[in-house]
Amino acid sequence: AVVMSDTSRKAVPSGQEKHTVSSPIPPEDSSVIPAGDWVLGMDDGRASQRLAVLTRHIAQGQGAPCGHIPADSEALGSCNALPNAELGSRAVICPSPTSSYERMHGRGSRAPAAWTSIPMVAGVQLKETLYKKADGEGIARISINRPKRRNAFTPLTVHEMGLCLRDAQDDPAVGVIILTGEGDAAFCSGGDQAHRGDGGYVGADGVPRLNVLDLQIALRRCPKPVVASVAGYAVGGGHVLHLLCDLSIAADNAVFGQTGPKVGSFDAGYGVSHLARVVGQKRAREVWLLARLYPAQTALEWGLVNAVVPLDQLEAETLAWCREIMANSPTALRVLKSGLNADEDGAAGMAQMAGDATLLFYQTKEATEGKVAFLEKRKPDFSKFKRFP
């Protein structure tokens, strides 16, 4: 957020350049005066005091998710400039809804999506998973459909989720994927203990499996952002699934934690290593060694989730985040995700980054020259391509 003045723009008086700071609002927008490349006409003391007040407002959570303080708490995507007594009668918090930044980069809409259900994927009729795509929006939704078992997964559930994830990954029209659970009681409560055998979770074929480990890796390798939409319990293996999503939006009824040590189970892979990276070693050890459950607000404070909203706003908020993601460069998001994962995933992570680099290179004229020269059985001419420092 930036402090704005509701008066007309003033030129910077000579000698006051020391008051200026960087502003994200371009100068061509005459609707507001940012506290940036144009001064507010105050001395250093008053400027510092107002900045401190603004910082306190943000720290107290009075700002909207976009970083502004809207006149109407329900108005997301267009914030109205508010006079503020502490900041002074001429100061407002948040840009005008007509500002350049808001016009170009405002929050995603919270309007309901029109979903198309996909009952069959790769020739498999889905039984324990619901799969949908938002019409014309590039958003896919994968939902565990076992609400009577608190969305505990079986080998079949995991297999179906993997098929859906792969379909969304392979669909060039899809740019972001939501992972969730049906109903309000649970996102996912981990593996269904009624299906647990000596060698893993037993499916209809009688073969014990731990195929959820394959799904974990698939979530990491998917080049598209995956957003967990969490209502109710996200515990055990379900906690690890939300943890491995790129973002997590939680309802205020969400509950997080690990239960493995209480039922003779554990996840010593991503469930431990990635958790420690997210919340720190001491808290990760607390989560696993004590096997407690934590409310949504604690998860937010620890950095386990990105946002907490009332339960009835969970879908709208998740869609808003997804739509905001869809407005960004897909190639940038792809490379950023592989970069964020690379150090933790070792050689496999570096291979993912290298693959993304290869994909980008294939789109260049330099790469095309090599391919065409080979097909034309001639020596390639790379002399026309610059060798940058």
Query: Parallel, antiparallel, or unpaired for β 120-121 and 124-125?
Result: antiparallel
Across 359-377, average pLDDT:
93
- Do 219 and 304 fall within a single domain? yes
The domain boundary, picked from 55, 73, 105, lies at: 105
- Do 137 and 230 fall within a single domain? yes
Say yes or no to pLDDT of 67 above 60: no
Phi and psi at residue 189, in whole multiples of 5°? -100, 20
- Given this model, what pLDDT does residue 25 score? 38
Most confident of 88-92, 96-100, 173-177, 267-271: 173-177
Hey, what are 267's tokens? Answer: 């996840």
Q: Can you give the pTM of this predicted structure?
A: 0.72
- Do 47 and 144 fall within a single domain? no
- Do 265 and 128 fall within a single domain? yes
Average pLDDT, the chain: 82
Question: Does a structural domain hold residue 333?
Answer: no
List pLDDT tens digits, range 309-345. Answer: 999 999 999 999 999 999 999 999 999 999 999 988 8
Question: Does a structural domain hold residue 337?
Answer: no
Q: What order of strands is seen across the sheet that includes strand 88-93? A: 33-34, 3-5, 88-93, 82-84
- Do 361 and 259 fall within a single domain? no
Question: What's the CATH code of the domain at 160?
Answer: 3.90.226.10
Split at pLDDT 50, 70, 90, the class of 3 is very low
- Do 175 and 239 fall within a single domain? yes
The domain boundary, picked from 73, 105, 137, lies at: 105
Say yes or no to pLDDT of 81 above 50: no
List beta partners, residue 293.
Answer: 257
Question: Does a structural domain hold residue 339?
Answer: no
Question: Does a structural domain hold residue 382?
Answer: no
Question: Does a structural domain hold residue 384?
Answer: no
Say yes or no to pLDDT of 152 above 60: yes
Say yes or no to pLDDT of 35 above 90: no
- Do 176 and 299 fall within a single domain? yes
Quick count: other Cβ atoms within 10 Å of Cβ 351? 14
Number of domains the chain contains:
3
Cβ–Cβ under 8 Å, residues 358 and 334: no
Residue 204 Cα distances to 122, 154, 195, 200, 289, angstroms: 19, 10, 10, 13, 33
Parent domain of 78: 3-105
